């Protein structure tokens, strides 16, 4: 309902799109909704353009022709690598905390046993 309301009140439509098969299928669904809104509620709604995001130099299906904006948002492999490395470091830090905790617990238990045996 929110999409229909937005399309009804808009003059133009800008589509941010990931260049993948699933995005193309989703865009087809969007255009079905746009067509219904144009036919029944807002005949002036027009496609202003498409912004390609997460582009990774794979050829994009040019289904939109001149409606694709010249600027594309490239996928940052550096960001993805940074996040993966950070997660690995966090996992290692957590393992170190667990190991230190277990070593401390072992020391406490050892001292308790020694204290009771004296």
* 4 and 37 Cβ atoms separated by less than 8 Å: yes
Task: Give pTM, 2 decimals.
Answer: 0.49
- Provide the token pair at 87: 């997660």
Residue ranges covered by each domain of the chain: 1-75, 77-118
- Provide the token pair at 95: 């393992």
Q: How many CA atoms lie within 13 A of 55 on its CB side?
A: 17
C-alpha 88/C-alpha 82 separation (Å) is 10
pLDDT in tens, 48-88: 988 877 765 555 555 666 776 676 666 665 667 767 777 88
C-alpha 116/C-alpha 21 separation (Å) is 69
- Provide the token pair at 108: 């406490």
pLDDT in tens, 14-24: 988 877 777 77
């Amino acid at each position: 309902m929110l999409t229909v309301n937005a399309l009804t009140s808009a003059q133009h439509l800008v589509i941010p799109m990931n260049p993948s098969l699933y995005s193309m299928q989703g865009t087809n669904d969007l255009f079905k909704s746009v067509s219904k809104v144009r036919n029944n509620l807002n005949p002036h709604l027009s496609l202003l353009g498409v912004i390609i995001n997460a582009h990774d130099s794979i050829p994009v299906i040019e289904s939109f022709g001149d409606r694709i904006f010249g600027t594309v948002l490239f996928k940052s492999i550096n960001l993805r690598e940074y996040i993966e490395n950070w997660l690995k470091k966090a996992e290692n830090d957590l393992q170190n905390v667990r190991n230190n905790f277990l070593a401390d617990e072992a020391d406490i238990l050892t001292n308790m046993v020694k204290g009771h045996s004296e």
